[in-house]
Each structure stands twice: as structure tokens, then as C-alpha cells.
Homo-oligomer: A and B are copies of this chain.
Amino acid sequence: MKQQKTTIHDIAKALNTTASTVSRALNNHPRISQKTKDKVAEMARKLGYEPNTMASSLRLGHSKIIGIIVPYVDRIFFSSVIRGIEEQARKHGYNVIICQSHEKLSKEIEDVNTLLAAQVAGIIISISKETRDVTHLLRVQEKGKPLVLFDRTSALLKAPSVTINDFDGAYQSVVHLIKNGYQRIAHIAGDLSVSIFKDRLEGYKKALRDHQVELHEEWIIEAPSDVAAGRPAIEKLMQKPVAPDAFFFSSDFTALGAVKHLQSINFKIPDQIGIVGFGNDQVTQYFNPALSSVDQKSIQMGDEAARIFMDCLQHGSDTTKQVVLAPKLIVRKSSCPSA
């Protein structure tokens, strides 16, 4: 039933040579003659040889596997990044192994341990919302393994990263709203202890300042990045003494929930209220009205993260490497009044 796997020893025996020669031939060692290499390659094929990656990883001290940690794999942003990483990694003969932190620090630490035990070549991670302490990530670096951050980074950590310019994405969005005639622009922020949401808030503020639009601190509120959070956020904002006429959301999901609610109480979007979201999730374009949103270049982000990772492997970590992708505001109907 179970097949006997063929090893380099089998090839060696068949060729009347030794395992070392076979190993060298397969690894294209310069001191092996072309003739030998050819013979070995052919015999390997004939015997259906498959290298045992465990054995080589054990010897080498690391595998050709990249560990990835994300909060949840089934969030489209993360799964897109993973796609980008996987495709780039594969070009270099690397595999990806995936863990979910569930936005919990404790789970993230456990994940790091698991990946380290699995002898991954290094880790690419988007840290959880809870992550303040980063000693578990320092451990990765201490082992001399590449650590690359994406999207969510930490100031406590010197590591290469790929992010989008959240500040700029927010800035563009708010300027766009202003240009389209909205004057009382509120911001529904994400968890402000996370840097990306902080940056978006700052971009929002700067845009207002630069265009002499008044900034009401009371129009800035923090809300979870999910659909359910949309309605209460809106309700709170609409009952302020002066109600906003536009909302810039840090999350498409919160925006969705908000729009649903606004429509249910008969507000016209975009004519009475303008909306811009963040993330350019697939849902936004099919929504009615289609939602303006900032695209996060997710696949590209993954691709870039994997490139940096491979670069670290080859030339050592350049912890100052910070790739910042330019976000792109996708303008759709929700922020373009007909008048």
C-alpha cells in the first residue's frame, strides 16, 4: 500500500555512486560534472524521486515555508494579501502556512510559537488590535529570521513593512467631499489605538484645515469596524446640535451599516448626505448607491511583502525598509450629489 519513497541513496545505488554526489548534482554544485548532473537528473525522474523537505529543512535549520499571521483569513482584505504573498512566494519555491490571531494577543503569541516550532523561514504578519507588547515578535528577529509587517505595524518594532498611506487616503477622501460641496464632514474612526486608524484621523483633520473647513471634535467618533456599528454611530452623530452632511468612514463595513440606516429613515444619499468609506471592499461597488471608498491595494501589498521577505532572506533584514503604497480613492455615487 504505502509506497517506498525513493531517496538520494536509491539514486546513488542505481548509478553506482554515493548520496553526496547525488545531492550535489541535484543542487547544481559547481564541482560536479555536467555529465553526472544529467545522469542523476534522469535517474531521479525515472525513480520518481521527490526530495524530502523535512530532512533538508532539519539539516539546514529552516524550511522553505513562510509563516503568515492575520486576524482572520476570511476577511477579504487579508485573504487578498495572502493571495499576493502566496503567488510571489511560490515563484521562489516557498510555501505559506497560515495562522489566525482572532485579534487576540494571546493567540498571536501562540501562533508565533507554532510557526517557530514549524521552523518557518520567517514571518509576515499584520498584528492584532490588542498587540501592544511585541516581545514575541522580537523573538523571531532574535532567531535571525525575517519579520515583515503589513498594514498594521507597531512603533515598538524595527522591522520592514508594507502599508498604504492611510493619512493620504483619508486626506484625498475628505478633500473630495469638500470639493463636492459638503461642508459639515464627520469622521467615524476605527480603534484609535491602532496606527492605521490614527493616521486616517490625522489625514481627515489635515484636509479640513487645509481647506479652511471647520473641525468639530464632536463630529469625530470611534466605532468598531463592522456593519452593526454603523447605525449607533450615525444616531449619535445626527443628534448633535449641528448635524453633519457627510461622513468619512474608516471602514467600509461601518459605512454600509450607516447607509442602510440613513436610507431607512429616508435620507437621500448622496444628495442630502455624502459618504466615503475605506477599504474598497468588493461589496462597495455593488451597493446602492455605489460607495466611494479608498482602495487598499491588497494583492499588491501581499506581493510587495513577499518580495521584501525574499530580499531579507538573501541580503539580511533591512529594518528601515518601509514600503508605503499609494492608496487610490475610488469615486462612486455615494459622494457625488447630482446638483
Cβ distance A233 to chain B, nearest Cβ, rounded Å: 17
Contact B74 A82 (CB under 8 A): yes
Write the chain B residue with the least CB distance to A87: B100
Provided the pairs A53-B119, A119-B54 are in contact, do residues A260 and B283 lie with their beta carbons within 8 angstroms?
A: no
State A114–B92 Cα separation when bound (angstroms).
13
The bracket for how many chain A residues form the interface is 35 or more
Provided the pairs A119-B52, A256-B286 are in contact, do residues A96 and B95 lie with their beta carbons within 8 angstroms?
A: no
Contact B87 A79 (CB under 8 A): no
Contact B74 A100 (CB under 8 A): no
Mark A254-292 against chain B: 1 for CB-CB distance below 8 A, else 0.
001000100000000000000000000011001110000
Determine if A229 is an interface residue (Cβ-Cβ < 8 Å).
Answer: no
Provided the pairs A58-B55, A73-B86, A80-B74 are in contact, do residues A114 and B97 lie with their beta carbons within 8 angstroms?
A: no
Partner of A95, one of B73, B99, B143, B282: B99
Cβ distance A27 to chain B, nearest Cβ, rounded Å: 15
List residues of chain B with CB within 8 A of the CB of A242: none
List residues of chain B with CB within 8 A of the CB of A75: 79
Determine if A232 is an interface residue (Cβ-Cβ < 8 Å).
Answer: no
State A55–B113 Cα separation when bound (angstroms).
16
Determine if A50 is an interface residue (Cβ-Cβ < 8 Å).
Answer: yes
Determine if A142 is an interface residue (Cβ-Cβ < 8 Å).
Answer: yes
Contact B50 A144 (CB under 8 A): no
State A118–B57 Cα separation when bound (angstroms).
10
Determine if A98 is an interface residue (Cβ-Cβ < 8 Å).
Answer: yes
Contact B76 A74 (CB under 8 A): yes
Determine if A155 is an interface residue (Cβ-Cβ < 8 Å).
Answer: no
Of residues 90 through 112 on chain A, the ones whose CB sits less than 8 Å from some CB of chain B are 95-100
Contact A95 B114 (CB under 8 A): yes
Contact B74 A95 (CB under 8 A): no
State A52–B62 Cα separation when bound (angstroms).
10
Determine if A1 is an interface residue (Cβ-Cβ < 8 Å).
Answer: yes
Determine if A116 is an interface residue (Cβ-Cβ < 8 Å).
Answer: yes
Contact B65 A73 (CB under 8 A): no
Provided the pairs A53-B119, A54-B119, A118-B53 are in contact, do residues A2 and B143 lie with their beta carbons within 8 angstroms?
A: yes
Contact A65 B118 (CB under 8 A): yes
Cβ distance A231 to chain B, nearest Cβ, rounded Å: 13
Cβ distance A30 to chain B, nearest Cβ, rounded Å: 25
Contact A118 B99 (CB under 8 A): no
Cβ distance A218 to chain B, nearest Cβ, rounded Å: 29
A50-B116, A74-B82, A86-B98 known; 18 new pairs, CB 8 Å cut-off, are: A1-B142, A2-B142, A2-B143, A3-B142, A50-B113, A51-B117, A55-B58, A58-B58, A63-B118, A73-B73, A74-B79, A74-B299, A86-B99, A96-B98, A97-B97, A256-B286, A283-B283, A287-B288
Which 5 A-B pairs rank lowest in CB-CB distance, beginning with the nearest? A288-B288, A79-B79, A74-B79, A54-B58, A74-B83
